[in-house]
Structure 1
Amino acid sequence: MSDTDGVGSTCPFGVTEDGAGAASNGAAEDEGGRETFAGPGEDGEIVAGRHRLGDMQEQQEALPVYTATPRTLFPLQESRSPHKTHPLTLTWAFGMNKALPVFSLQDKERLVTFYGCAHVAVMYDHTSASQHLLQGHCSPVSCLCASEDRRWLVTADKGPDSLVIIWDSYSGIPVRTLFDSHPEGGIAEVAMSRDSKLLVTVGAREIQRVCIWDWTTETETPLCVKEVGPEYGRQQHILFHPTDSNQLLSNSESRVLFHTKEEGHLEFSAPKISDKTFKKAVGPFSQSIFHPGGVQAVTATLTGNVLVWDTPHRATSPGLPPRKATKLIQLEMHGISVLTQIDSFIVTGNVQGHVTVYDEHFKQVERLSQFGLGPVASISFSREEDCSGGGLSELSLESKPFIRRFVLSTADAIMLHVDPQAGPPHMLLRGHSEALHAVACHPCQPVIATGSRCGLLRIWNYQQKELLYCRVVQEKRQIQCLAYDAQGVCLALGFTCGAVEILDTSASQYDENHLLKYSSHCISHVAFSSDSQYLATADTGNTVTLIRLHSEDGRKVWRYLGRHRCHYKPIQDLLFGVQLDNSQPRLFSLGMDRMLVEYDVLGSWEDDLRICSVERVEQGAVPTCMAWYPPLTSEHFLLTASDHFKMKLFNSTTKMCSRKTLLGPTYGSPVKKIASLPASGGGNQKTHYLVFINQDKVGLQILPLDGNPHKSFAMLCHPTGASSFSCSYDGKYIFTAGGVDCTLLSWETNLNALEAVASLGGQGIEPFYGLLEGGREGEFYKEMEDYFYHCQLRSQAVDTMEPRQLSTTIPLAEVPFMMRALGFFPTEQELEDIHNEVKFSRYAEMGEYVTDVDLEEFIKLYVNHRPAFEVYMPEMERLFELLGCPNEKGEQYLNREELLDLLQARGEHMTEEELAESFITLLGLNASGGSDLGDGQDIGKFRS
């Protein structure tokens, strides 16, 4: 995949510091270099034509669509060595989107399924255990469909810059992209006509737009558009008539709409029906189809009924064909969740997990009820005809059983392959049906464990794609977090009910476990000490619990040691470390209350968890996470990140506040979790790397940290929010958990590519010039040089007549004045942090203090310490609203006396003289500035 500059890009996968992205596309190119697409011709053959794809570039080494065959994609993918140009490459998707249908692309040799997973669509060849990931969306995939012959696949999404992409299933290449088809909220439903020439999309906003597209032409506008108001309900299912592409059928839970396309216009009729129509309850509608006979239509309900729609007059008449509900048949005892048809048969799937086949007269042909699963979500039949030579049209209840193979998915995120001739169904995939927050990699094996809110624990060999262990936790305990110990012998599970379970992974069946419960709050973090003797947990009750491993009668038993509620706001992170002199364990917790707490692990006794120290690490920012900084210097540092897009280094021994403050990755949202990437066989072994996630991206950063934006790289991973991540023991893979999207994505690292990206950004001070307004040639830099020279004059006395000493530095004491002159007004604590950062920058290595700063060092200080983004007036108004109280009119109100009291009593409070001096200078009453307040008359004016 190739990079783009990101300008106007609609699918920014790779994200650079300034928001530019890398998009992927696979349009084939003709001899003249023009982008092309392929689609069905008049007789079904594949034809090529020109197609505009905006700023999306061609996929490198793309196969021409017209030469691809059903067996082209996966054999080529298996034999071709991957050519990775990004620091992070998506390699595998675990799980599935249970809300989307699953399609069978099966032929006689390979079993391939097509389904959605987060913001990608997956073509999974179960025969060879390989995946081809269709990447092109920057929002979660909201709907899928496939052509009748399974040659063309369609994906669409909801959200900003929503896309509809048509893919060639033989080559995996996107052949057409519809931009801004529904800019008001994205796409809710999509379907393709039987001849694959037309595409219908349904918008996701309250007033839904139904658009019909001829995707095989160059036109960028739909053939016809019709709006459906909210009085008809939210249309949740749509399809074309199997023989007449001018007719469509859609339904909501309460209404069925019959659409007709005539002369560029789309109209619909919506016959009313209620419980009085047939004098019995009809029930909410689920799905609708056209009857195999071609005239009638059938709608299934969640009460087990089917509603038959007919045309009272069979003669063709101009305009919309009238429809009327003529029959209500109690087909099943349970609600019908899926209704489809294959050849002349009608197939239903119900909420009990049963699949039933009926003929066109609703006579039962076959019933498959041996699944024992949850509600059926989708049914998709294989493309091939009956293996014995007969078609389904020859089958009946008395003659032959139903033998067409199909793929079934359930509302519990389970995918089955059913072959009536081969016996019991085969489970193809079992995903997490509820939020997935817990993920942990084994410390020395290619093994990963995942746990979700549905209580499902799964342990995979991620290299072989082999499931090693699967268990549904009893008593409906929901898994929130996971952690392996340093040897990989124990796996700790933290549950939302406050319990902790410790599995012995050395047992063949993982059946030896210890269940401990000392809290009634959700366990948010679990961590093992490096010697595997201690286990610490943090819960949503702001409490840290310490558990110790004991030996009793030759058995290892985990026993409660103590717990402490040391934070008054949620705990953000929990971390074990070691003492520098004796390698004994240390335990830290970081809270939203801005406190870093260290616990006395060795000095604690049963029911007495003691605290070593409590340090405040932030003033206004909220810390989000922490990690141990790699040993790049002689000092041992603790690294923290905050919601102000800053990272700070703290000496782990002295706890000196903010030994260094650095600009963190700025990819739309603050960093929420960080970890050091384990050493791998690739890249520079002398270089260390940091892995991070923010709200929806996963990224890498080259260490040491210095604020250089070109040393970091991020990729969109989970548009609905990344909840956690874990790194493989060798640093080759990063696994991200998607939380509410119930999926796990595997990313392969390419550290050489990351180093190349950083080198292209420049060396030394050059990358930091780009962070200044106008760069090195701009007015801001020239103004900075002037202020720097003025500070040199101030330090040598402005009015002196003595010869001046030429210098390239300014005293450290002049730095605050430079900062304020450039528009950055740091607090006293921030000034102390800046002073300590410069003063002790070389003390550990050289044993001396630094008292001077040159211009390049000052620029780095300035860009790292100033706010990452400007503070705008709406933010200032919000802050005053927080300080004020509502008046009689309900408006936020802050009077003069309250404001002055707050300034003199809260935070870094000011004295009355300092406050008077500031206001007098700001109001222009003291033109010379400074602290010249005369004989007190100005203070008197200020008080009045």
Structure 2
Amino acid sequence: MTTLENTNRLKLVDTIIIAISEKIEVPVQTIFDTNPEGGVVAMAMTPDARYLATLSAAPTQVLSIWNWTVDGDTPLCTAELNPSYGVQSFIHFNPEDIHFLVSNSDSQVIFYQWNDNHMEYFAPPLTDQDFNKPVGRYSQSIFQKNSTRVLTSTSIGNLVVWDTNKPLTKLHDSQPSADKKALKIIRQQERGINVLTTTENFIVVGDMAGHVKFFDQSLKLVHWYQDFHLGPVTSISFAFYPNFEPVAKEGSNYPPDATIEARRFVIKDFVVGSSIAIFGSVTADGTKVKVIHREHDAAIHALSAHPSLPYVVMGSYSGLLKIWNYEKKQVMVSRQFEKNSMIRCCAYDPKGAYIAVGFVNGSVRVLDSITLEDQTAEPFRYARYGITHIAFSHNSQFLATADGEYTISVFKKQHLNDEPYGYLGRYRAHYKDIQDIIFGIHLDSNQPRLLSLGKDRVLVEYDLENSSKDNLRITSSDRIEQSAVPQCLTWYPPITKEHFIVTANDQFKFKLYNATTKMCRKTLLGPTYGSPIKKIAVVPTKDPIKEKRYLAYITDDKIGLHILPLCGNPHDAMALIGHPAGVSNLVCSYDGKYLFSAGGTDASVHMWEINTSALEAQSKLGGEDLIPFYGLLDGGREGELFAELEDYFYYAQIRSQGVNAMDKRELSVKIPLTEVPFVMRAMGFYPSEQEIEDMLNEVKFSRYVETGKYVEDIDLGDFIKLYINHRPAFGLDPQKLVHAFKTLGVPSAQGNSIERGYLLDLLQTKGEHMTEYELAEYLTTLLGFNGEGGSSELQEFDSSTAGDIIDQNLPVNVTEEMFANEILGFSMYKDVMATSQLTS
């Protein structure tokens, strides 16, 4: 039995499902956990379909023989292979005696002999010196018909002939053996051989040139197909004709063979698969070749869903653009662009009439969404680097692209021209990579608005209304992050009275910004599944106002779903591995039923069905109100940290009323907003001044839209949520200090160090503003010479002696270890810095 495989798409699987029924739909036997360590890398079946051989993908491979017709999860026999043999990736039964097998890796061929409870194998060595000629890398092996010989093809066009290690004087009296050795190496052709198989009495070869050759058993060429133009052959599968007779009937048009008689070459029809993901069906009678399937053979990054139909368009670096009907599971139309036209991104316009495609070479094409024909005489070529993002406005009036030059290009709809879009202008408003672009709507005029978000932490809005030809203007440019790097953005759905933009950053945080003022209105803990979120998309719904809303997202290798509104509850999110090699893109179907993810280098697109009920159940089981947030505190509700927090709340009330006040204390369940920074620092979170401002604004304006009044205090429950959402997701990161000293300092025997004067100058002139008075106060306090904690507690700070204290106690060259242990008092830095120094 021959199976059609595209070898460069081989997947590791943990479960082998053998499906034999009328339509190959219903599994009749399932063998679970055949090789739990690494899955299965190759398998083969006997010609009578009774036995199955599997090769595990673990570092130490195991070959197993299974009788799948009998219930049970135990193989008949196994053999553990030496890792030095390399990864055995091909296996084949002897069709004349199924108790013999052959397998091979790139560098080793192994021969097996088995019975119901025992298996032995032989791995004969072969080097270039044995026959004084190069061998090449092994590809596939077959048993020669009516012979004890085995043939193995190689990457340089050789055939290695293997035979029994000891000559058989009386073949009919001797037992066959799996003990074989290399008999000779035959230089069969110039191009590397990828496929070696048999059909009828022929030995069939498929090579890197895309040719398929047929040889007789003495390896004489009988026929040669060379005009398929399908790419390097990686698989060949012949049709199953039970009563096939190799006789040319009258009126047939089989080609002549290579003999002197030029007899008709009659074989079964076959299918050829190539390394560029093209499958061609070859009809031998008349030598007709038909492409039956064309897939992507390079990285897929471009993905877009139709706004009203069950279509998804995908494009890859191979230049193939394909529209797929995901309900009928069929290709609607495809287009192969010219060589070196690598597709980077694409987008449907909101009306579904056009598809805009961005290429790695910087060109942009506008295509008809039905025929995929160009709608402009020439592609737009305004960018010198690759197009990374592309988007349409809600009314299809504008098309915008972002490219590798950190530049935004805008194209405008043309009503009096044959071409649908014309160039409007370009603007380089960023100095680092553009992470995302989105179109929105001005609430008062229903006109489109365009925003771009860069790795430079800047959110830019463009003035489309007042822009003209070659004069694209910007409305505002706002730095929205201080230390985190934003990864993506989208419009927050209309589930609140205030209009927001939501972003995700590399510190595992969501942030909500007022769509008009760009003020940070909320910071929320995001999913922490190994890597930060790379892209987000609000799942569409029929009724955006009344129905529950969800947010889809991707990380480096996972795809997930999050319940809206965002609140920081970890149980509101889920994620699972989508593409082990990495997820490159994500889109939602127009009806919100499905998600589509592109795997980038794995050249595949996955379709996911959304099950919100499971996510809602998970959220309910996680608890309500503050219960999920208690779980994020060390020790939980009954732990020491929570008890300390209650004490801090009491101390904060004393502090706000005056430490030396003699009046009767008035206890409350709330503390003033002015005390929030001090309690945060007491909890081990050390926010910057900008982060403090964001926290205070978040609480202060939390009810302003509903009540028109500011919030001036905060209770314990809201403070816990504020603390959980704003603190670093994984605590203090010692590597940041190591990186800072490595960047700013110079190597020394004690590690990286910074000269004292330079350090003091950096602290005052770089980053957030710090006055000389503040610096003196903080350093003397940290060095232990300001016992009462400086002006923040009982008394005014005396700066008259601060300079002498710093000069006497701060060394001329401050090392990272001294700064961490003696100034900051963070003992956890010791191991990290020791590891860093050892690595250096």
**In the alignment, which residue of structure 2 is the partner of 1:924?**
784
Q: Deviations over 1:60-100 (max 9, x none)?
A: xxxxxxxxxxxxxxxxxxxxxxxxxxxxxxxxxxxxxxxxx
Q: Write the distance in 2 (CA, Å) between the matches of 1:243 and 1:778.
A: 72
Q: Structure 1 pair 143/760, CA: closer, same or farther in 2 (3 Å)?
A: closer
Deviation at 1:781, TM superposition (A): 1.7
**In the alignment, which residue of structure 1 is the partner of 2:195?**
338
Corresponding letter in the other structure for 2:637: R
> Residue 484 in 1 paired to residue 348 in 2?
yes
**In the alignment, which residue of structure 1 is the partner of 2:816?**
none
Q: Write the distance in 2 (CA, Å) between the matches of 1:758 and 1:104.
A: 48
Deviation at 1:467, TM superposition (A): 1.8
Larger CA deviation: 733-742 vs 352-361: 352-361
Q: How does 1:423-822 map to 2 (within 5 A)?
A: 424=288, 427-505=291-369, 508=371, 510-514=373-377, 515-552=379-416, 555-656=418-519, 658-680=520-542, 685-822=546-683
Q: Structure 1 pair 550/218, CA: closer, same or farther in 2 (3 Å)?
A: closer
Out of 268, 282, 290, the residue aligned to residue 143 of structure 2 is 290
Q: Write the distance in 2 (CA, Å) between the matches of 1:448 and 1:484.
A: 9
What percentage of residue pairs aligned between the two structures are identical? 44
> Residue 328 in 1 paired to residue 186 in 2?
yes
Q: Equivalent residue of 1:638, what SS? A: strand
Q: Structure 1 pair 485/293, CA: closer, same or farther in 2 (3 Å)?
A: same
Q: Write the distance in 2 (CA, Å) between the matches of 1:886 and 1:337.
A: 53
**In the alignment, which residue of structure 2 is the partner of 1:212?**
63
Q: Equivalent residue of 1:310, what SS? A: strand
Deviation at 1:294, TM superposition (A): 4.8
Corresponding letter in the other structure for 2:525: L
Q: Write the distance in 2 (CA, Å) between the matches of 1:190 and 1:925.
A: 73
Q: Write the distance in 1 (CA, Å) between the matches of 2:337 and 2:799.
A: 77
* Maintained 8 Å contact 1:571/1:591: yes
Deviation at 1:489, TM superposition (A): 1.4
Q: Structure 1 pair 274/386, CA: closer, same or farther in 2 (3 Å)?
A: same
**In the alignment, which residue of structure 2 is the partner of 1:270?**
124
Q: Equivalent residue of 1:787, what SS? A: helix
Out of 233, 238, 242, the residue aligned to residue 386 of structure 1 is 242
Q: Write the distance in 2 (CA, Å) between the matches of 1:254 and 1:115.
A: 21
Larger CA deviation: 916-925 vs 248-257: 248-257
* Maintained 8 Å contact 1:211/1:222: no
* Maintained 8 Å contact 1:455/1:479: yes
* Maintained 8 Å contact 1:345/1:359: yes
Q: Equivalent residue of 1:741, what SS? A: coil
Unaligned runs of 5+ in 2: 169-173, 248-253, 809-840
**In the alignment, which residue of structure 1 is the partner of 2:762?**
902
* Maintained 8 Å contact 1:439/1:482: yes
Q: Equivalent residue of 1:567, what SS? A: coil
Q: Structure 1 pair 319/177, CA: closer, same or farther in 2 (3 Å)?
A: same
> Residue 911 in 1 paired to residue 774 in 2?
no
Q: Write the distance in 1 (CA, Å) between the matches of 2:573 and 2:83.
A: 46
Q: Write the distance in 2 (CA, Å) between the matches of 1:807 and 1:324.
A: 90
Q: Structure 1 pair 402/722, CA: closer, same or farther in 2 (3 Å)?
A: farther
* Maintained 8 Å contact 1:403/1:419: no
Q: Write the distance in 2 (CA, Å) between the matches of 1:364 and 1:386.
A: 26
Q: Write the distance in 2 (CA, Å) between the matches of 1:760 and 1:116.
A: 44
Corresponding letter in the other structure for 1:598: E
Q: Write the distance in 2 (CA, Å) between the matches of 1:799 and 1:251.
A: 85
Deviation at 1:415, TM superposition (A): 3.0
Q: Write the distance in 2 (CA, Å) between the matches of 1:532 and 1:386.
A: 58
Q: Structure 1 pair 878/731, CA: closer, same or farther in 2 (3 Å)?
A: same
Between structure 1 and structure 2, the one with the greater Rg is 2
Q: Structure 1 pair 559/292, CA: closer, same or farther in 2 (3 Å)?
A: same
Out of 257, 264, 275, the residue aligned to residue 411 of structure 1 is 275
Q: Equivalent residue of 1:474, what SS? A: coil
Larger CA deviation: 345-354 vs 612-621: 345-354
How many aligned residue pairs are there?
A: 780
Q: Equivalent residue of 2:603, what SS? A: coil
Q: Equivalent residue of 2:790, what SS? A: coil
* Maintained 8 Å contact 1:301/1:337: yes
> Residue 225 in 1 paired to residue 88 in 2?
no
Q: Structure 1 pair 853/174, CA: closer, same or farther in 2 (3 Å)?
A: farther
* Maintained 8 Å contact 2:487/2:504: yes
* Maintained 8 Å contact 1:672/1:692: yes
Q: Deviations over 1:582-634 (max 9, x none)?
A: 12221111100111111111222222222211111111110000101112222
* Maintained 8 Å contact 2:15/2:33: no
Q: Structure 1 pair 898/511, CA: closer, same or farther in 2 (3 Å)?
A: closer
Q: Structure 1 pair 242/388, CA: closer, same or farther in 2 (3 Å)?
A: closer
Aligned CA RMSD, in angstroms, stands at: 3.7
Q: Equivalent residue of 1:535, what SS? A: strand
Q: Deviations over 1:867-922 (max 9, x none)?
A: 111234345423432332345x7964434443333222211143333233333333
**In the alignment, which residue of structure 2 is the partner of 1:301?**
154
* Maintained 8 Å contact 1:145/1:191: no
Q: Structure 1 pair 181/484, CA: closer, same or farther in 2 (3 Å)?
A: closer
Out of 722, 730, 735, the residue aligned to residue 861 of structure 1 is 722
Q: Equivalent residue of 1:885, what SS? A: coil
Higher RCO, 1 or 2 (CA under 8 Å, sep at least 6)?
A: 1
Q: Structure 1 pair 771/381, CA: closer, same or farther in 2 (3 Å)?
A: farther
Unaligned runs of 5+ in 1: 1-102, 106-112, 119-139, 153-167
* Maintained 8 Å contact 1:269/1:320: no
* Maintained 8 Å contact 1:226/1:266: no
* Maintained 8 Å contact 1:366/1:402: no
When normalised by structure 2's length, the TM-score is: 0.84
> Residue 351 in 1 paired to residue 243 in 2?
no
Out of 231, 234, 256, the residue aligned to residue 377 of structure 1 is 234
Q: Equivalent residue of 2:426, what SS? A: strand
**In the alignment, which residue of structure 2 is the partner of 1:839?**
700
* Maintained 8 Å contact 1:441/1:447: yes
Q: Structure 1 pair 891/224, CA: closer, same or farther in 2 (3 Å)?
A: farther
Q: Structure 1 pair 181/689, CA: closer, same or farther in 2 (3 Å)?
A: closer
Corresponding letter in the other structure for 1:440: S
Q: Deviations over 1:671-712 (max 9, x none)?
A: 11111111148x994222211111112222121111112222
**In the alignment, which residue of structure 2 is the partner of 1:937?**
801
Q: Equivalent residue of 1:362, what SS? A: coil
Q: Write the distance in 2 (CA, Å) between the matches of 1:694 and 1:509.
A: 31
When normalised by structure 1's length, the TM-score is: 0.75
Corresponding letter in the other structure for 2:702: S
Deviation at 1:936, TM superposition (A): 2.2
Q: Structure 1 pair 385/468, CA: closer, same or farther in 2 (3 Å)?
A: closer
Q: Structure 1 pair 636/288, CA: closer, same or farther in 2 (3 Å)?
A: same
**In the alignment, which residue of structure 1 is the partner of 2:11?**
141
Larger CA deviation: 713-722 vs 821-830: 713-722
* Maintained 8 Å contact 1:375/1:410: yes
Deviation at 1:660, TM superposition (A): 0.6
